[in-house]
Structure 1
Amino acid sequence: MPKAASGTRTKRARKNPNAPKRPMSAYMFFANAQRDTVRAENPEATFGQIGKLLGERWRGMTSDDKKPYEEMNVKDKRRYETEKKAYEQLGSI
């Protein structure tokens, strides 16, 4: 038996296109840098399989190997905080 429509749907507020983009994680910096290499080594791999291979590589890395990507993450977080602060100040005027 189908459910009756309640008619009380809430709408999500639209995201402001001028809002600053969220910072990328260290893993995402790594994945973006390594995706083409993994795809070249595994040309028959599907999208999901490539993600799995990237995750395995990330987990197999030492903290020293991850350090450059973590530094990129810290830099991106600082960028986001400054852009967010400027965006909020514009909104409160």
Structure 2
Amino acid sequence: MPKDPTASSKRAPKLDCDGNPVKTKRVKKEKDPNAPKRPLSAYMYFSQDWRERIKTENPDVSFGEIGRLLGLKWKGLSEEEKKPYEDMASRDKKRHEAEKAEYERS
């Protein structure tokens, strides 16, 4: 038998005095300053490498537009052209795994 669409397994939302739902903020988990930094992706290495070039070629372009141009350039690269960035990301991932294991031991 199908579930009643009006019935919900979720708790009823809290309401303010006017009957409107009250938004609750999530408590942000404290980040340990000693935790290892997360590894960068191949795209992030590419964007670090190319951002200044794109900015000098297009000085009047906004930050968001530079990101869009970087994305288009990344998508246009062949697998061979992406390989150096993927290798850097792979090395960074191994570094992160080693640092994370050391961090969890301590």
Q: TM-score category by the smaller chain?
A: 0.7 to 0.9
Shift of 1:2: 6.9
Q: Which residue of 1 aligns with 2:9?
A: none
| Distance in 1 separating the partners of 2:55 and 2:101 | 38
Higher-Rg structure is 2
Q: Which residue of 2 aligns with 1:12?
A: 28
Q: Which residue of 1 aligns with 2:41?
A: 25
Q: Which amino acid aligns with 2:34?
A: N
1:3 lines up with 2:20 in the alignment = yes
Percent sequence identity is 46
Secondary structure of residue in 1 paired with 2:20: coil
Which portions of structure 1, spanning 4 or more consecutive aligned residues, are displaced by more than 4 angstroms?
A: none
Identify which of structures 1 and 2 has the higher relative contact order when contacts are C-alpha pairs closer than 8 Å and 6+ apart: 1
- 1:10–1:41 Cα change, 3 Å: closer
Structure 1: segments with no counterpart, 5+ residues: none
- 1:9–1:56 Cα change, 3 Å: closer
- 1:35–1:89 Cα change, 3 Å: same
1:84 lines up with 2:71 in the alignment = no
Aligned residue pairs, count: 89
Report the aligned-residue RMSD.
1.8
Shift of 1:56: 0.3
Shift of 1:43: 0.3
- Bigger helix fraction: 1
